[in-house]
Structure 1
Amino acid sequence: MTVETLAPGVHAIDAPFEDVPLQIYVIEGERLTVIDPGVPQTAEGPLAQGLAELGHRPADVDLVVNTHGHHDHRGGNGVVAAHNPGVVIAAHPADATWISSTEQYLAEEYLRFRPAWEPPTAALDRIRLLCGADLPVTLELSHGDELDLGDGHVLSVEHIPGHTDGSIALLHRAAKVLFTGDAVQARGTPLQCRADFFPHYRHVAEYRRSLDFFAGCGAEIVGTAHTGVCAAHRAAQLIAESRRFADEYTAVFTAAFAEAGSATLADLARATRDHYPRYDDGIPLFNTISGYLAELCAAGVARHDPPDRFVWLG
């Protein structure tokens, strides 16, 4: 088990599952706090072991903060709650229903693009298992809130609705540590046994705004969910790479759409994968394409012809 201390009382636990890299974060304030306990397997295994190395038990956890409602960030909530039924679950209200209802999460995230794309039944069943127990969010977090955990640990909440509508980042100003969740996508999430996940953001302008915030917030250590713990120089590289990819994909996407003149989501997904064959044809790809289409339609450059066709207006 690897527990890395980022600052006094602030720790990262290496907690990969399947072929997905993952970091869980623990803050030892008067309220023992876990940021994103991952999936049930990571909460039962690496998190519990890491807490033991720090002299704690899962029953000692007072607060769980979910940076957003995806299964690999909230799936461990139920494991922690099984040890401490009084644990507080905190998240932004825009993602709260995903955390409290697996079926609503699947409907709004994984089934939203039917019939253009739909995951296999086996994949949905796997995600259900990774979601763990459904639990209500008992503390809603809004932009500008401060979580005082005691012993000098205060987390400032930044609402960054790029990756999901309810994504948040947490800034520990005293320790100069930033927790980003999945808000820094760079060139996607590299996987060991499958095609990589495409850079995943629903809202292009908000994604770019979050990168601007990260670059200027003064953090010297950045804790990501899937890219590990980054010192300031490495974090700056990731932010720069995220911007470069967003610019690059804007050009690739616009060129493919303009050449087609009229296209469906599935058409644009095929064009993207032809250009980037390393990536999975899944929800990250379709969410990001949808985000670019929404931006173009709002700017009057494209028109949506329901149910699933988009027309380039130029």
Structure 2
Amino acid sequence: MMSIIHPVRLPFVLPVNAEKSVERFINVFIVTGEKVCIIDTGARGCQKGILDKLSELKKTPAEIEWVINTHEHPDHIGGNSFFEKHAGPWFACHEEAVRWIENPDIQYRERPIHGFYSLVKESARITRTLTDGDELDLGDGITLKVIYTPGHSSGSISLFFPVEGVLITGDAIPPVGGLPIYDDAEETRESLQKLAELSGVKTLYCAHSNRPFTGGEVEEVIAAGIDYLDFVESTLAEVMEELPSNAGQEEITREVLLQLDLDPPPVMPITVKSIMSHLK
């Protein structure tokens, strides 16, 4: 079967603080059915990689009918405004993601991260909201199914192509050994359990993984994500026993991150929220 789902790796620079930046990448996707669909648009200024891949596939920006955001965070939506200006597609996401996608300034105020505006600056208008179980017909027998997978963010969705057996999860699966970044630990766990129960998955793509996962690896990666949540939670419980009862959230987070071998511990609002969400 000819591949119709084309991953594109977009490198970008993520400022950690005023003195330090790190090189990162994000996997976005071009789906070439009768209708061309872009899944996530990467960080601001990284869209040449998408344009180059379109050209390789003998497609043009004018043929893009859909842009779907797996969630609302800046490294996934930074190119939306570029495609709004140069292609004019329909933009879709979960309803919980609309507010932050359409209003980056509000997102920055409510979820401040260093270098936010290097990742996204302008907004694009969402023209369709997606909910759990929705199906999108891309033509040529290609159907995309929406799976609501909140936890990493309230507006996170995963996208499943049943015929091809391809599952795209954005940031829904926490990377083992990586920085815990999720709004709600329990919702994340429930979403992973939902993905684990999905039948017919042959290939799994995560937004920041070096490669796709196939066959039995799919189940292993999802299970490892659940195990990592459990490990963070048990580590938090141990830290809470050792620290004084009046320890603040930042101190608790710092100790947990150190126990996770994240040194120096990146204590910031998004990691504090992640760790503290285990106490809900």
Q: Does TM, normalized by the shorter one, top 0.5?
A: yes
Runs of 4 or more above 4 Å deviation: none
Q: CA RMSD in A?
A: 1.8
Equivalences for residues 71-82 of structure 1 within 5 A: 71-82=74-85
Equivalences for residues 155-304 of structure 1 within 5 A: 155-187=144-176, 189=178, 198-218=179-199, 219-227=201-209, 228-259=211-242, 260-278=244-262, 279-293=265-279, 295=280
Give 1:311's aligned residue. Answer: none
Q: Partner of 1:166: helix, strand, or coil? A: coil
| CA–CA distance in structure 2, aligned partners of residues 128 and 55 of structure 1 | 32
CA separation of 1:276 and 1:132: change in aligned 2, threshold 3 A:
same
Give unmatched runs, 5+ long, in structure 1.
1-5, 111-118, 190-197, 296-314
| Residue 226 (structure 1) shift | 0.3
Q: Is the 8 A contact 2:35 2:138 kept in 1?
A: yes
2:84 counterpart letter in structure 1: A
Q: Partner of 1:152: helix, strand, or coil? A: coil
Q: Partner of 2:150: helix, strand, or coil? A: coil
Q: Partner of 1:225: helix, strand, or coil? A: coil
Question: Are 1:29 and 2:13 an aligned pair?
Answer: no
CA separation of 1:40 and 1:274: change in aligned 2, threshold 3 A:
closer
Q: Is the 8 A contact 1:7 1:175 kept in 2?
A: no
Give unmatched runs, 5+ long, in structure 2.
14-22
| CA–CA distance in structure 2, aligned partners of residues 130 and 175 of structure 1 | 32
Give 2:17's aligned residue. Answer: none
1:250 counterpart letter in structure 2: E
Q: Is the 8 A contact 2:177 2:260 kept in 1?
A: no
| CA–CA distance in structure 2, aligned partners of residues 172 and 63 of structure 1 | 15
Equivalences for residues 35-184 of structure 1 within 5 A: 35-43=39-47, 45-84=48-87, 86-110=88-112, 123=114, 126-184=115-173
Q: How high is the sequence identity, in percent, across the aligned residues?
A: 28
| CA–CA distance in structure 1, aligned partners of residues 49 and 268 of structure 2 | 28
CA separation of 1:230 and 1:283: change in aligned 2, threshold 3 A:
farther
| CA–CA distance in structure 1, aligned partners of residues 98 and 61 of structure 2 | 23
| CA–CA distance in structure 1, aligned partners of residues 269 and 55 of structure 2 | 36
| Residue 153 (structure 1) shift | 1.2
Q: Partner of 1:263: helix, strand, or coil? A: coil
Q: Is the 8 A contact 1:180 1:225 kept in 2?
A: yes
Q: Partner of 1:22: helix, strand, or coil? A: strand
| Residue 224 (structure 1) shift | 0.9
| CA–CA distance in structure 2, aligned partners of residues 277 and 201 of structure 1 | 18
| CA–CA distance in structure 2, aligned partners of residues 48 and 282 of structure 1 | 35
Larger CA deviation: 64-73 vs 25-34: 25-34
1:95 counterpart letter in structure 2: A
Q: Is the 8 A contact 2:131 2:148 kept in 1?
A: yes
CA separation of 1:51 and 1:185: change in aligned 2, threshold 3 A:
same
| CA–CA distance in structure 1, aligned partners of residues 26 and 90 of structure 2 | 22
TM-score (norm 1): 0.80
| Residue 262 (structure 1) shift | 3.1
Q: Partner of 1:17: helix, strand, or coil? A: strand
| CA–CA distance in structure 2, aligned partners of residues 282 and 105 of structure 1 | 16
Residue-pair matches, total? 266
